[in-house]
Structures are given as C-alpha cells and as structure tokens.
Amino acid sequence: MDRLVFSQPILVYNQAEEAPTPVYKEELKQDIVKLLDYRIIGEAFNGYIITETGDELVFIDKHAAHERLIFDKLKSQEREQLSQHLLTPIIAERGREDAALLLENLELLDNLGFEIEDFGSGALMIRRLPADMDMGEATAVFNEISQALRVGNRPGSLGKADEVLASVACKAAIKAGKGSDPLEWKPVVESVLSGKVKYCPHGRPVTMRMSKRQLDRNFKRE
C-alpha cells in the first residue's frame, strides 16, 4: 500500500559546525528531519520527498532529481575520475546487432568511462565502468546505452554522449517506487532547493510547489 514514510531516528545537525556531524536522538518524538533552514517531512508513494521551506511545501521527484545530480557530476568529471576497473571482467550477451553498434562507438564509450571488448558471437567483455555505476547494473545498462546510441543523433535528443550519460545516471539514481534511506534524501533536497537541479536530463521538472496560502485557500481559511 502506498503511504507516507517518516524517517526515524531524527537527524539533528549542529549549525555551528563547519562540517555538521549528525547526532541520532532515538527518544525524540517528532516525525520530521530538521536540516538547516528547511525540514524534510517525509516521502509519499515511495517516490516524492516532501519538504517544508519558508512558506511553501516542495514535492521532489527523488529519482528524476537524483538522476540529474549524477548526470551533471558525470559530465563535469575527467575521464580517469569516471572509471572503476573491474578485477573480474563481466561478460554481457548483447546479440550481434547491439554488440556491433556498441563496438562502433568504442571511443565514445571509452571517453565516458567504459572499456569493452568483442567477446565473439554477440557477447562483450566489460573491463571498466563509470565510477557511480553498481556492477550489478552493468549488463542491464547496456540495453539503455544501445537505445541511447540509436536515438543520439535524432532531432530533439541530447546527442550520443549525453544520452549515454543519462542512461548511466538513470541506473545509478535512487529508484522510484522503492523505499530509500532518508540519509540519501539530503543531497537531493539541497541540490533542488539551491536551484542547482530543476529538470531531469531530458527536461522534465523535478518539483511541484504549494504555498501555505494555497493550502489555506483549499481549507477555506481565507
């Protein structure tokens, strides 16, 4: 059943410290997380973080906002920062058509943190992955990358490189529809409230705002 989820324990920050250290207060009764000049009230439907700041509520699409945060990080990193070398290469069965498409774009993929080799019969050997990617997502993400390479040059697309990065960011981001650790919400919320993140990589808005005045009107308090 979809529900509002409130975090426990409360995460309390000492604003006087330059690098705040969280202190856990199990005995506190409030069901909110107090952080600086805003507070995270909770999560709705395992997909939307509800935050109060000033005189408004901000509903944040956690997956879309986190995806954009990772996408921007990947774009700003140097090539060596992008990669994690695998001690044991991963063999991905892609089929001949997809494998050929990926091998045609070796230089592009290499610049984005991937290292792959032809393993024959439509299979690829993956030796290096972007640093933010879970190795468990490695095989699945190549489904997305193949599609990204196909649409990358179409009108309205982000271009091949950015479409691939968007695919990586999507796989690495907090998942919608699944519960997540409230500690993961903080960087997402702060990136949105600071104005750093407004849209997902493909241009969808990541927030909806409702003012106290709108709420008051709905309850006929005005």
Other Cβ atoms less than 10 A from the Cβ of 145: the count is: 28
pLDDT digits (tens, 9 = 90+) for 157-214: 677 888 888 888 888 889 888 888 888 899 999 999 999 999 999 899 999 999 999 9
> Would the pTM of this model clear 0.75, i.e. be above it?
no
Cis amide prior to 182 (ω within 30 degrees): no
Q: What is the DSSP string of 65-83?
A: HHHHHHHHHHHHS-HHHHE
Q: How does 186-208 read in b/e, with b if 16+ C-beta sit within 10 Å?
A: bebbbbbbeeebeebbbeeebbe
pLDDT digits (tens, 9 = 90+) for 32-70: 344 458 999 999 999 999 999 999 999 999 999 999 999
What span, in angstroms and rounded, lies between the C-alpha atoms of 179 and 22?
21
What span, in angstroms and rounded, lies between the C-alpha atoms of 83 and 113?
5
- Which sign does the torsion angle of CA 176, 180, 186, 187 carry? negative
**Where along the chain do its domains lie?**
4-68+176-218, 82-172
- Determine the topology of domain 4-68+176-218 in CATH: formyl-coa transferase, domain 3 (3.30.1540)
Q: May I ask the CATH architecture of the domain 82-172?
A: 2-Layer Sandwich (3.30)
